[in-house]
Structure 1
Amino acid sequence: MKTTLLHIALLLLIGLSSKAQMQPFALQDVKVTGGPFKNAQDVDLKYILALNPNKLLAPYLIDAGLPEKAPRYGNWESSGLDGHIGGHYLSALAMMYASTGNAETKKRLDYMVDQLAQCQAKNGNGYVGGIPQGKVFWERIHKGDIDGSSFGLNNTWVPLYNIHKLFAGLRDAYEYAGNQQAKQVLIGLGDWFVELIKPLSDEQIQQVLRTEHGGINETFADLYILTKDQKYLETAQRISHRAILDPLIDKQDKLTGLHANTQIPKVIGFEKIATLTGKSDWSDAAQYFWQNVSQTRSVAFGGNSVREHFNPTTDFSQLLRSNQGPETCNSFNMLRLSKALFLDKNDVSYLDFYERTMYNHILSSQHPEKGGFVYFTPIRPNHYRVYSQPETSMWCCVGSGIENHTKYGELIYSHSANDLFVNLFIPSTVNWADKKLKLTQQTQFPYQNQSELIIETSRPQELSLNIRYPKWAENLEVLVNGKAQPVTGKPASYVAVNRKWKSGDKVTVRFKTTTRLEQLPDGSNWAAFVNGPIVLAAKTSTADLTGLFADDSRMGHETKGKLYPITNAYALVGDPATYLNRLKPAGNLQFGLDSLMLQPFYEVHDARYQMYFPTFTQAAYDEQKAKLKQQEADVLALEAITVDKVNCGEQQPEVDHQYKGEKSESGYDDEQFWRRTRSYITYQLQNKNRTGKYIIIRALEDIKPETMSFLINEKPAEILSSEGKTIRLRANDNEVITVKIMAQSGTNTARINQIRLLTR
């Protein structure tokens, strides 16, 4: 396929605007030819081929009642999110095939689609999915039996999020690889879903949408583009989450405390629906969300969130302390939103964030030699990251990870009807078939601030070559065949070179970058060194990298190594005007900083690192260090005696601890998460080596034992003390301890914030 089918259909449906409409090139038309992105693509291909399609298909075959060809994978693929990686795998195979032409990826893709078609035929109603007991679950929803929370719908782990991955995978199999069978399976699945929700009221649908559901509204917009059947566009609007959309339309920031990656795909859907319906307020809402997240909630490398949730814009301290920094899935989806807005608005400023995030978060999220994907990227000083392995790790960030490195060619170039745009400085080629023109880009950026663009054309032809003038560039020079051209543009715009081009014409682009300090968005005294778009960091230690390559445990994606005191972090102390002068250039974007060596963050692997540096005057440093030292000592002392803990109301910790409950709700108040119930809630704590002796339950208001009861492994718990917002229970010596909290007389319990299992 020589073009992107869905995008062409979209342009036909909405028509071209009066100004030149920005269009992407198909992945088939752009080849990445060298540098770190080509390496990342090659390493990702090996990881993709190390996965077993039959294992990924197993959940679908099981649910359809067909024999398995291999046992399913473990980890998240056999603990409730069964089948979600299979959907991502379809997308990754399709885009890798489009980007590289690798025959094995196409063979696997066609095989998997055929197997899914067989599952769909066996089910007989258009449905295909890997969700455990899926038929029973969906029948309950069809009948309006709905009990949902942020991640659990009828005590099933994010089922709509799960099936959205299959919708997207089938769409990509058709869009990028031309698989016609995928289109038919996709339409059948879409028709089943339309019938599934037909009996539900709008209120019931919005109740369902309280649970994470990915970008399922976007995929129904895609179905409309493919078929022009109005029912899909109506469904896309009906399954758009109004609790998120309405405040965004009103330009109200109500994001703090929300699970970050739950929201971003919804907004991608809002933007696509807007382009199809002319709902400008929906598109404005998407722009407001993008501006809010990218400019006030993102750290230097483009990522956002702490423990998967949006932190307050005025306080990034939790992010600095936590070992669960920005989640890679968030940036995966923020890039998709940035791309959509760039193409819709023809606004080059979206590319500044896109480029920053792609270089510093996405590129750094895969091990450059061994492969493996990162879930959390902490900014806590002297901490590290964990990498997945093909046989053990089935996290969401593995699913998005195998996609991330297949599509680096998607926005290096773009075009309008008559003009070519160079958006990113990456070694690559682009073939513009309609113009019979090929452009080759030769560059070693970011290690050298220059790029050469060489034209090949079947005939001399006049067009405008538009070169992005990045926001970070101190200046920009453009030469054509060695002759300097006038540069009238400014940063965050394009410089247009309009002439009759002939084969062999060479354009040289040169720019200057400097290193600068960027503070956290909250204005606190923490800052990162950034050169051009490249975030710099220093390796600080290779000690105690426990779990560097993940095992198959439920929390294998989280670091287990020691938390080093923040007070031990390297600090910039003294006159702020001298901070940058301390850097000693050492070549290849390396800079000495006393005993540290700064380098591009995407080069930092297999080590603890420091990306953010506290800045102080000498007097402030002495005062702050003493204060932080005591705070840090208290935190580390508590962690030292903690065997296991669950932060109630947060998605991943609750999933990891097998949350179950009825008549329960969660929320975020006073910068703390909570969960309460009018019936019961339960969690499983892991009592490693049976060292846990006591359970501490903490709430946001006073715990009144007469209104609540507590069970340990279904037996009444011994209450050792109850004081205000905290209650202390005696644990038993089981390896798995189930804590059950029950409400008395149907009244709400206190808002439970945290449960800890302690050694003393």
Structure 2
Amino acid sequence: MKTTLFHIACFTLLSLSGMAQMQPFALQEVKLTGGPFKQAQDVDLKYILALNPDKLLAPYLIDAGLPLKAQRYGNWESVGLDGHIGGHYLSALAMMYASTGEPELKKRLDYMIDQLAQCQAKNGNGYVGGIPQGKVFWERIHKGDIDGSSFGLNNTWVPLYNIHKLFAGLRDAFEYAGNQQAKQVLIGLGDWFVALIKPLSDEQIQQVLRTEHGGINETFADLYILTNDKKYLETAQRLSHRALLMPLLEKQDKLTGLHANTQIPKVIGYEKIATLTGKTDWSEAATYFWQNVSQTRSVAFGGNSVREHFNPTTDFGQLLRSNQGPETCNSFNMLRLSKALFLDKNDVSYLDFYERTLYNHILSSQHPEKGGFVYFTPIRPNHYRVYSQPETSMWCCVGSGLENHTKYGELIYSHSANDLFVNLFIPSTLTWKEKGIRLSQRTEFPYQNQTELVVEQTKPQVFALQIRYPKWAENLEVLVNGKAQRIEAKPSGFVAIARKWKSGDRVTVRFKTSTRLEPLPDGSNWAAFVHGPIVLAAKTSTADLTGLFADDSRMGHETKGKLYPLTSAYALVGDPATYVSRLKPVSTLRFQLDTLTLQPFYEVHDARYQMYFPTFTQAAFSQQQARLKQQEAETLALEAITVDKVNCGEQQPEVDHAYQGEKSESGYDDERFWRRTRSYIAYQLQNKGQEGKFIEITALDNLEPQNVAIYINDAQADTPATQGKIIRLNVDPKEVIRVKIVAQNGKSTPRIHQIRLLTR
């Protein structure tokens, strides 16, 4: 009973507000019984158990001054984001334990919570964290010494984002696994944070929130649910970022160029705060955001972003060209937002998106046999993905990946006071304890277009079984004990079967699916084949899969293999009416397209692939090929002489190049990122083999030499006397080249877009 108290408390509050129409089941009540999701859950369990809790705890012990039991992990856990995987790990342990009952998970969870409690006791003020030099950092914030940018706060890498993972992990340890000690540590940590920011003005807090901070507002809303103490709800509202919220309240799209996964957790917080306060405009803002991202910024498999940022809704060209496609963390959080909105508004469109993303992005983001999680999923034709490894990879998408495959049972079913809803067609069993009802779902969907539901209960009772009528189903047939039922519902709705159910009753649900071409949201000539909710793709090659399983390098999550020209992609040429009819069924969910075999994208691994296909008339094809060939040749020629580069204003490139700076700001204009400063900005470029001979700095404004000083390895460079947007400088051949750009004469520098190290 303890494991569901938080769940029940949360949604009792929502029901009393009159805003919630249904409730989820606890993970303990839903068990997977087969199929690809059960396989993914089992593979994730092995990965979770392959990690060492003492290594994940090391950053917290270091900060508290307690003896280590093992050295911390490397990779992101040793370069500034120390401790963030530990928070995700608590959540993964708790949810996987709730889903499977595996005792080793509970043992590890209880051990880690006890160790964190000891760190908290040693600190003596409620604080516990793994952030490097955390005590010094937080003291500066407490005193109002704040210098924040999109990912660096006082030159510390996303500290609020980091500690949010611990807040969430402690919450999940209590909610899903009933760990009472986790609740006490969480409340102590929350009280410390409330005291920390108490001296800060609202303006100063908004300045702090310029830096990525995860869903910190949501966790304080959760603390309010746990304690009914209004100070936490007030804090949740203070920690809601107005720079994103205000445009959403006005239904204004200001998302292009923003770091995508920075924004989505904020919106989850807005929605939760709305359910607790009655702020319907905040909930409408969350709905507007969801509609904008899911309908105009997401690709066929449900993911969004290019190089971690929202691309223009009118041009997905960058996304097609980049090897850094949609980030898995984004879909992790979009599913959380979709679930929250569905439970609040009972709109099946949220389930349609949830299902599409669950099957095609989340399921595909883990290697189905070896394990390992994917960061970027490129849609660039003939490219591939990289998988993490337990000892080398500590990226954000490893943290969310650990959680993704623990909770597949969270929304297969839901319920209202009397009705039972079947939302997804996944083999599983449900035990509705309060009603004495057990429901078994037997299905091989999507390889079979039907599911069978078997009702078992202690006594006959009346309730409505509500079966989702998916948007993609061309028709739906429902039989109860072999007798066809009259269906009045339409797609993206529920078919209600109200009767007095007795044990052994069987419900058979059949539906028809077909294959269609789904274009990119920008209206361009690129489209993906989708069968029902399943995105199809073709393996194209296994050549040059460099870094398929990641090493421990800072950017090990990014592919290093060759970029094949877009002109080599398979194209659909001719009459558009014939594109789909060219597919020849081979077997279940297998189609032949000339020399290509299309199959569910989640089955495609260890290979290059093509998911999106350009479509042309014959005349347009010849013209487009010539234009693309020239563009590709120019791009590849520049990359061929580039030793290293940094895109200024983008989070990962700046972190990877040891960004430092003061009084700087970043932005996005004319589809290009930039950073400028009233003091200085600096980066380190790696000159592999000492081949780089020139530094080329590109700005969006004129680089006036009298207003900008440039230092190369601490020596001031001679800059050209002419004005322009590009400066080219000679450099001495050293392994590491530090470029520092300093504002002069009290003026800001121009908007610096890119710095390249070139061989010629």
- Could you state the TM-score of these two structures normalised by the residue count of structure 2? 0.99
Q: Which residue of 2 aligns with 1:413?
A: 413
Q: Which residue of 2 aligns with 1:610?
A: 610
Given the superposition, is the C-alpha separation of residues 746 and 5 from structure 1 closer, same or farther in structure 2, using an over 3 Å criterion?
farther
Return the alpha-carbon distance in structure 2 between the equivalents of residues 344 and 562 of structure 1: 46
Residue-by-residue CA offset, 1:148-204 (whole Å, 9 max, x unaligned):
000000000000000000000000000000000000000000000000000000000
- Does structure 2 conserve the Cα–Cα contact (< 8 Å) formed by 1:20 and 1:416? no
Structure 1 residue 16: Cα displacement: 4.2
Structure 1 residue 574: Cα displacement: 0.3
Per the alignment, in what secondary structure is the counterpart of residue 292 of structure 2?
Answer: helix
Q: Which residue of 2 aligns with 1:515?
A: 515
The residue identity in structure 2 corresponding to 1:92 is A
Q: Which residue of 2 aligns with 1:70?
A: 70
Given the superposition, is the C-alpha separation of residues 17 and 205 from structure 1 closer, same or farther in structure 2, using an over 3 Å criterion?
closer
Return the alpha-carbon distance in structure 1 between the equivalents of residues 584 and 718 of structure 2: 62
- Does structure 1 conserve the Cα–Cα contact (< 8 Å) formed by 2:428 and 2:442? yes
Structure 1 residue 690: Cα displacement: 1.6
Q: Which residue of 2 aligns with 1:489?
A: 489
Per the alignment, in what secondary structure is the counterpart of residue 144 of structure 1?
Answer: coil
Q: Which residue of 1 aligns with 2:284?
A: 284
Structure 1 residue 10: Cα displacement: 2.1
Per the alignment, in what secondary structure is the counterpart of residue 521 of structure 1?
Answer: coil
Structure 1 residue 18: Cα displacement: 6.4
Given the superposition, is the C-alpha separation of residues 530 and 103 from structure 1 closer, same or farther in structure 2, using an over 3 Å criterion?
same
Structure 1 residue 737: Cα displacement: 1.3
Structure 1 residue 725: Cα displacement: 0.8
- Does structure 2 conserve the Cα–Cα contact (< 8 Å) formed by 1:547 and 1:559? yes
The residue identity in structure 2 corresponding to 1:456 is E
What are structure 1's unaligned runs of at least 5 residues? none
Structure 1 residue 588: Cα displacement: 2.1
Structure 1 residue 2: Cα displacement: 7.1
- Does structure 2 conserve the Cα–Cα contact (< 8 Å) formed by 1:471 and 1:491? yes
Equivalences for residues 74-473 of structure 1 within 5 A: 74-473=74-473
Return the alpha-carbon distance in structure 2 between the equivalents of residues 2 and 35 of structure 1: 30
Structure 1 residue 587: Cα displacement: 1.0
The residue identity in structure 1 corresponding to 2:342 is F
Q: Which residue of 1 aligns with 2:29?
A: 29
Return the alpha-carbon distance in structure 1 between the equivalents of residues 686 and 106 of structure 2: 43
**Greater mean alpha carbon deviation, residues 712-721 or residues 453-462:** 712-721
Structure 1 residue 712: Cα displacement: 1.4
Return the alpha-carbon distance in structure 2 between the equivalents of residues 2 and 346 of structure 1: 27
Structure 1 residue 13: Cα displacement: 2.5
Return the alpha-carbon distance in structure 2 between the equivalents of residues 460 and 286 of structure 1: 41
Given the superposition, is the C-alpha separation of residues 17 and 80 from structure 1 closer, same or farther in structure 2, using an over 3 Å criterion?
closer
Per the alignment, in what secondary structure is the counterpart of residue 472 of structure 2?
Answer: coil
- Does structure 2 conserve the Cα–Cα contact (< 8 Å) formed by 1:384 and 1:607? yes
**Greater mean alpha carbon deviation, residues 120-129 or residues 15-24:** 15-24
Per the alignment, in what secondary structure is the counterpart of residue 409 of structure 1?
Answer: helix
Given the superposition, is the C-alpha separation of residues 120 and 143 from structure 1 closer, same or farther in structure 2, using an over 3 Å criterion?
same
Per the alignment, in what secondary structure is the counterpart of residue 681 of structure 2?
Answer: strand
- Does structure 1 conserve the Cα–Cα contact (< 8 Å) formed by 2:84 and 2:166? yes
Per the alignment, in what secondary structure is the counterpart of residue 408 of structure 2?
Answer: coil
- Does structure 2 conserve the Cα–Cα contact (< 8 Å) formed by 1:300 and 1:535? yes
The residue identity in structure 2 corresponding to 1:435 is K
Return the alpha-carbon distance in structure 1 between the equivalents of residues 732 and 101 of structure 2: 58
Return the alpha-carbon distance in structure 2 between the equivalents of residues 455 and 131 of structure 1: 51
- Does structure 1 conserve the Cα–Cα contact (< 8 Å) formed by 2:221 and 2:232? yes
Return the alpha-carbon distance in structure 1 between the equivalents of residues 549 and 750 of structure 2: 39
Per the alignment, in what secondary structure is the counterpart of residue 614 of structure 1?
Answer: strand
Q: Percent identity?
A: 83
Q: Which residue of 2 aligns with 1:701?
A: 701
Q: Which residue of 2 aligns with 1:757?
A: 757
Return the alpha-carbon distance in structure 1 between the equivalents of residues 369 and 222 of structure 2: 36
Structure 1 residue 20: Cα displacement: 7.9
Residue-by-residue CA offset, 1:88-116 (whole Å, 9 max, x unaligned):
00000000000000101100000000000
The residue identity in structure 2 corresponding to 1:484 is A
Structure 1 residue 729: Cα displacement: 1.3
Per the alignment, in what secondary structure is the counterpart of residue 471 of structure 1?
Answer: coil
Given the superposition, is the C-alpha separation of residues 19 and 711 from structure 1 closer, same or farther in structure 2, using an over 3 Å criterion?
closer
Task: Report the count of equivalent residues.
Answer: 760
Equivalences for residues 537-552 of structure 1 within 5 A: 537-552=537-552
- Does structure 1 conserve the Cα–Cα contact (< 8 Å) formed by 2:698 and 2:752? yes
Return the alpha-carbon distance in structure 1 between the equivalents of residues 13 and 497 of structure 2: 31
Return the alpha-carbon distance in structure 2 between the equivalents of residues 411 and 235 of structure 1: 29
Return the alpha-carbon distance in structure 2 between the equivalents of residues 705 and 369 of structure 1: 57
Residue-by-residue CA offset, 1:217-263 (whole Å, 9 max, x unaligned):
00000000000000000000011000111110110000000000000
Return the alpha-carbon distance in structure 1 between the equivalents of residues 719 and 690 of structure 2: 20
Per the alignment, in what secondary structure is the counterpart of residue 453 of structure 1?
Answer: strand
Equivalences for residues 642-661 of structure 1 within 5 A: 642-661=642-661
What are structure 2's unaligned runs of at least 5 residues? none
Return the alpha-carbon distance in structure 1 between the equivalents of residues 185 and 746 of structure 2: 46
- Could you state the TM-score of these two structures normalised by the residue count of structure 1? 0.99
Q: Which residue of 1 aligns with 2:638?
A: 638
Return the alpha-carbon distance in structure 2 between the equivalents of residues 391 and 15 of structure 1: 45
Residue-by-residue CA offset, 1:334-389 (whole Å, 9 max, x unaligned):
00000000001111110000000000000000000000000000000000000000
Q: Which residue of 2 aligns with 1:679?
A: 679
Structure 1 residue 731: Cα displacement: 2.3
- Does structure 2 conserve the Cα–Cα contact (< 8 Å) formed by 1:720 and 1:730? no
Q: Which residue of 1 aligns with 2:574?
A: 574
Return the alpha-carbon distance in structure 2 between the equivalents of residues 720 and 63 of structure 1: 48
Return the alpha-carbon distance in structure 2 between the equivalents of residues 35 and 338 of structure 1: 23
Given the superposition, is the C-alpha separation of residues 19 and 9 from structure 1 closer, same or farther in structure 2, using an over 3 Å criterion?
closer
Structure 1 residue 719: Cα displacement: 4.5
- Does structure 2 conserve the Cα–Cα contact (< 8 Å) formed by 1:718 and 1:730? no
Structure 1 residue 21: Cα displacement: 2.4
Return the alpha-carbon distance in structure 1 between the equivalents of residues 349 and 729 of structure 2: 55
Q: Which residue of 1 aligns with 2:628?
A: 628
Return the alpha-carbon distance in structure 2 between the equivalents of residues 403 and 18 of structure 1: 31
Structure 1 residue 642: Cα displacement: 1.1
- Does structure 2 conserve the Cα–Cα contact (< 8 Å) formed by 1:423 and 1:468? yes
The residue identity in structure 2 corresponding to 1:35 is G
Residue-by-residue CA offset, 1:408-462 (whole Å, 9 max, x unaligned):
0000000111110000000000000011110010000001101000111111111
Structure 1 residue 3: Cα displacement: 5.8
